[in-house]
Amino acid sequence: MSKKYDILAIGRSSIDLYSNDIGSPFPEISSFGAFVGGCPTNISVGTRRLGLRSALLTAIGEDPVGEFLLKFLNDEGVETQFIVHKPGHRTSAVVLGIEPPDKFPLIYYRDNCADIELTIDDVTASPIAETRAVLISGTGLSKEPSRSATLYGAEQAQAMGCLVFLDLDFRADQWHDPRAYGVSVRSTLRNVNIAIGTEEEIKAASLTDISQMSIEHSQISNPNIEGDMKTAIATILNLGPEALVVKRGSDGADIYLNSGEVVHAPPFPVEIYNTLGAGDAFASGFIYGVLNRWGWEKSARLGNAIGAIVVTRHGCANFMPTMAEVNAFVAERSGL
C-alpha cells in the first residue's frame, strides 16, 4: 500500500547563527548568518531537496524564531503540520564560529528548549502509519519527555513496518552524564533497522564498561572514549540493527552488516569550508538511496557526495543540494 510520506524525521530543530567572518577567532566575529538547523530538521530538508516526501515532527516556541523555522520549512515543501508549539518554552538556537579547516567552536542554547518537550501524545498525532521510514536522533534521547517520545516513535514505527533510521547525533554537553547517552541509545537499538554515526559516536553508544568514561565536565565536550572499534560495532549490531553506517569524513563511509559483510563507499575529496551539517547531508543522501533500493555502496556514495558539497558551503539545511546539483558535482569527478 502506498504511503503519503517517504520519511518522518523526529527531534531537534534550531535557528543556526553562523559566523560571516570566516577564519576570525570567536571574540572577533562581527556578524552572523541566520540559517535553519538541528539534525532531524536538516535531514528533512536534505531529503526533500532530493525529491522525497518529507515530514518533520519537532517543537518550537511561540516566538519569532519558531516562525522563522516554519517559513523556511514551508517554503522548502517539508510537511510542517505536525510541528507543535510549546508555550513557555523557546525555539532552540546554535551559534558557530568558522575557522577552517578544523576549528568550529559551537555553542548550543537549549535551556528551556521547546523540542525537548515533545511527548508521546505528539508522536501519536504524527503520521507514522502514513510514512515509509522514520528517523530519530540521539539528542532526542537526552532528556524527558523527548526521550520517551523518541523511544515510543521508534517502537510504533517498527510495529507498523516502517524502516527506522537512528542518527547517533552525540552532543555530549546535552547530557547530564555522557555515559547515559550509551545507555539510552542501546535501549533503542532493538527498534532500529539502520544506525548512522561517526567512530566517536559509535564508541560512546556501545560503551559497556562505564568506568572507561570520565564524567568530569572538562572532558564532556570532547570525551576521551577508549575502546576497540571492532567491538563497538559488534555491540551495536548485536542489539538489533541490520546495518551500521560509519561516517569517516575524508575517508568516505563503511557499512557494517549484521551478516558480517563490510561495504566501503569512497569519498569525494574537497576543500573544507565548514564541516557542520556534513553528517546530516550524508544521511539525507544515504536515506534517499536506501528508500530507492539503490544498494548499500551506491546509497553511501550519494551520501558522500552530498556531504562533500555541504562542507564547501556556509551552513546546514539552507545549503543542502538538489539532485541536479549532486549530479553536476559527481559528473565533474566520476560517476555514482
Rounded to whole angstroms, how far apart are CA atoms 30 and 9? 34
Q: What grid cell was written down for 309?
A: 558539497
The mean per-residue pLDDT over the stretch 59-82 comes to: 98
Q: For residue 207, what pLDDT is reported?
A: 80
Q: For residue 212, what pLDDT is reported?
A: 47
Q: For residue 174, what pLDDT is reported?
A: 95
Render pLDDT for 86-107 as a digit per residue (tens, 0 to 9).
999 999 999 999 998 888 999 9
Q: For residue 333, what pLDDT is reported?
A: 85
Render pLDDT for 111-153 as a digit per residue (tens, 0 to 9).
999 999 999 999 999 999 999 999 999 999 999 999 999 999 9
Render pLDDT for 216-245 as a digit per residue (tens, 0 to 9).
332 333 333 344 899 999 999 999 999 999
Render pLDDT for 273-319 as a digit per residue (tens, 0 to 9).
988 899 999 999 999 999 999 999 999 999 999 999 999 999 899 99
Angstrom CA distances, 185 to 101, 141, 204, 206, stand at 31, 8, 9, 8
Note the maximum CA span of the chain: 56
93-96 sheet: strands from edge to edge: 32-37, 14-19, 93-96, 106-109
Render pLDDT for 284-293 as a digit per residue (tens, 0 to 9).
999 999 999 9
Q: For residue 225, what pLDDT is reported?
A: 34
Q: What grid cell was written down for 242?
A: 541490520
- 171 vs 218, residue with greater confidence: 171
Q: For residue 101, what pLDDT is reported?
A: 82
Q: For residue 227, what pLDDT is reported?
A: 47
Rounded to whole angstroms, how far apart are CA atoms 180 and 213? 11
Question: What is the 8-class DSSP label of residue 128?
Answer: G
Q: For residue 209, what pLDDT is reported?
A: 46
**pLDDT > 90 in the chain, percent:** 87
0.85 surpassed by pTM: yes
In the predicted structure, residue 1 carries a pLDDT above the cut 70:
no
Render pLDDT for 188-218 as a digit per residue (tens, 0 to 9).
999 999 999 999 999 999 985 443 443 333 2
Q: Please, which residues have CB within 8 angstroms of residue 58's CB and are 6 or more apart in sequence?
A: 10, 11, 12, 13, 38, 40, 41, 83, 84, 115, 118
For the chain, helix, strand, coil in percent to 5 are: 45, 20, 35
The mean per-residue pLDDT over the stretch 154-183 comes to: 96
Please count the other Cβ atoms lying within 10 Å of the Cβ belonging to residue 283: 30
Amino acid at site 185: V
The mean per-residue pLDDT over the stretch 13-34 comes to: 95
In the predicted structure, residue 52 carries a pLDDT above the cut 50:
yes
Note every long-range contact of 67-72, with CB atoms under 8 Å and residues 24 or more positions apart, other chains counting: 68/15, 68/34, 68/36, 69/13, 69/14, 69/15, 69/36, 69/41, 72/36, 72/317, 72/318
Residue 334: pLDDT band (50, 70, 90) is confident
Q: For residue 222, what pLDDT is reported?
A: 32
In the predicted structure, residue 180 carries a pLDDT above the cut 90:
yes
Rounded to whole angstroms, how far apart are CA atoms 226 and 204? 9
Q: Residue 45, Cα to own-chain centre: how many angstroms? A: 11
Rounded to whole angstroms, how far apart are CA atoms 235 and 133? 24
Q: For residue 210, what pLDDT is reported?
A: 43
In the predicted structure, residue 23 carries a pLDDT above the cut 80:
yes
| Average pLDDT score over the chain | 92
